[in-house]
Amino acid sequence: MVSSSSCRRGLLLAAVLLGFLQASSTFEVRDKTGKICILANFSAEFTVDYSTKAKVERKTFQLPSSAHINKESSSCGKEKETSQVLVVEFGTGNSLTFTFEKSNDFYHVSNLTFSYNLSDSSFFPNSSGGQREVSRAGDIQANINTTYRCRSNHRVNMTNVTVLFSNVTLEAYLPNNAFSKNDSVCAEDKTSTVAPPITTHIPTTTSLAPPTPPPTDTPKIGRYNVTGLHGICLLATMGLQVNVTYSTKNKTSKSELLNLPPTAEVSGTCENSSITLNLTSESTSLSFQFSQNTSTEKYFLQGIIVTANLPPEATEKNISYSNHTLNALKTSVGKSYKCIAEESIWISGKAAVNIFNIQLQAFKIPGDKFGAVEECQLDENNMLIPIIVGAALAGLVLIVLIAYLIGRKRSHAGYQTI
């Protein structure tokens, strides 16, 4: 007979082994001749929002140790194609696809796609089912003939899905069937591993170098309006920040936050179905285009053009990104959009506009002032917390009061018997 403790020990051993297997499993993609072109190992944590009959559920799970490579879909680059593809599968019908592309001297993940099967109840219990696919232009980048390493957490946000990578070691366009000896370490790791020696080392002349600039604080709130033939067609107060990701001269990728000063020059146009708001500062300009949907009586932010000068370490002097298929800040005509929480609007994989403390109204603006407010989802969610805390506190007060009353009654009775 097997005792329950030895059984437990067995399970523990299995768990440890499984953990060990997970930590050391490396995915490899080979071409027809057996030559390896991609090697990768990493941890990934998925957070997925999906609907059940009752509500929207949020599920977080790790890439399981049973995850394996899909040999048919992975590729070292078919005829004439230079892209290489790594497809990692798990469960039934869930997969993570990395598409790599290379230029003269670096390679990068040009597209990260997560395809998931909501009918796979082991990951998505009680889901109403269906196959979903989300993707992002990736930002992992490294020199050719070097191994990309990133121990720090690297978050990739997609619609309804967040993938949190960590302990990433990968290389595509492998020259010699194995990881290259030289590394491209991600910027996140550099800041966390370079920092300690500075504090422990005896100060040298290099410590006189200017300190790294402090993290950019939130932008100041600006007040903007656009006036047309028929008066004001756009009124806004908001703080604006551009988050741009660029490659540096040493081939690593870096993000910079550029605040738009509230003194930015304002221009724009008012048309029946379209409004533009241009804000121009010395180093950054933003052009917003709002549209109106007459059938639903809603207006929304449809397009953004961002242009910005980059720091000298960037490979390019300036950038210009645009997206004309947005559907943001959607509001009923005649009302104003309000959001205290920070909102990020992604323009491309390389640029986002962060909006702070916005109130905005476009098209119909009776009396040239903000109409009734439509609160953003983020603020509505935040409002829930104080309500819940308040309710809990009220409950607690009630319990204490009842306990006090009961206690008083008891002690009263006690005195009487003496």
Ligand X SMILES: *[C@@H]1O[C@H](CO)[C@@H](O)[C@H](O)[C@H]1NC(C)=O
What residues contact 390, with CB distance under 8 A and at least 6 apart? none
Strand 284-293 to 265-270 pairing: unpaired
- Which is closer to ligand X, CB of 65 or CB of 332? 65
**Class of residue 387 by CB neighbours under 10 A (exposed 0-12, middle 13-18, buried 19+):** exposed
Smallest distance from the beta carbon of 50 to ligand X, in angstroms?
5
Q: What are the CA-CA distances from residue 317 to residues 49, 151, 308 (Å)?
A: 39, 30, 9
Name the residue nearer to ligand X (CB basis): 10 or 129.
129
Residues sharing a CB contact under 8 Å with residue 250, sequence separation 6 or more, in sequence order: none
Minimum distance from CB of 56 to ligand X (Å)?
Answer: 5
Taking CB atoms, the residue at the shortest distance from ligand X is: 93
Rg (CA), the chain: 28
For ligand X, the closer CB: 285 or 331 = 285
Rounded least distance, CB 147 to ligand X, Å: 8
Q: Minimum distance from CB of 407 to ligand X (Å)?
A: 46
For ligand X, give the closer residue by CB, 10 or 125.
125
Residue 249 vs 410, nearer CB to ligand X:
249
Q: Exposed, middle or buried, 98 (CB in 10 Å: 0-12/13-18/19+)?
A: buried
Residue type, 154: H
Region of 312 (left: φ > 0; alpha: ψ -120 to 50; beta: rest) is alpha
Single-letter code of the amino acid located at 91:
G
Q: Smallest distance from the beta carbon of 73 to ligand X, in angstroms?
A: 11
Q: From the CB of 200, what's the least distance to ligand X, in Å? A: 19
Closest to ligand X by CB, 307 or 413? 307
Provide the binding-site residues for ligand X, judged by CB under 6 A. 23-24, 26, 41, 43, 49-51, 56, 92-93, 105, 111, 113, 117, 119-120, 131-132, 134-137, 139, 144-145, 155, 157, 159-160, 166-167, 169, 175, 179, 187, 190, 225, 232, 243, 245, 248, 250, 252, 254-255, 257, 267-269, 276, 278, 287, 305, 323, 325-326, 344, 346, 348, 354, 368
Q: Min. distance of Cβ 395 from ligand X in angstroms? A: 30
- Are the beta carbons of 289 and 303 closer than 8 angstroms? yes
The span from the first CA to the last CA of the chain, in angstroms, equals: 63
Residue 6 or 52: the one with the smaller Cβ distance to ligand X is: 52
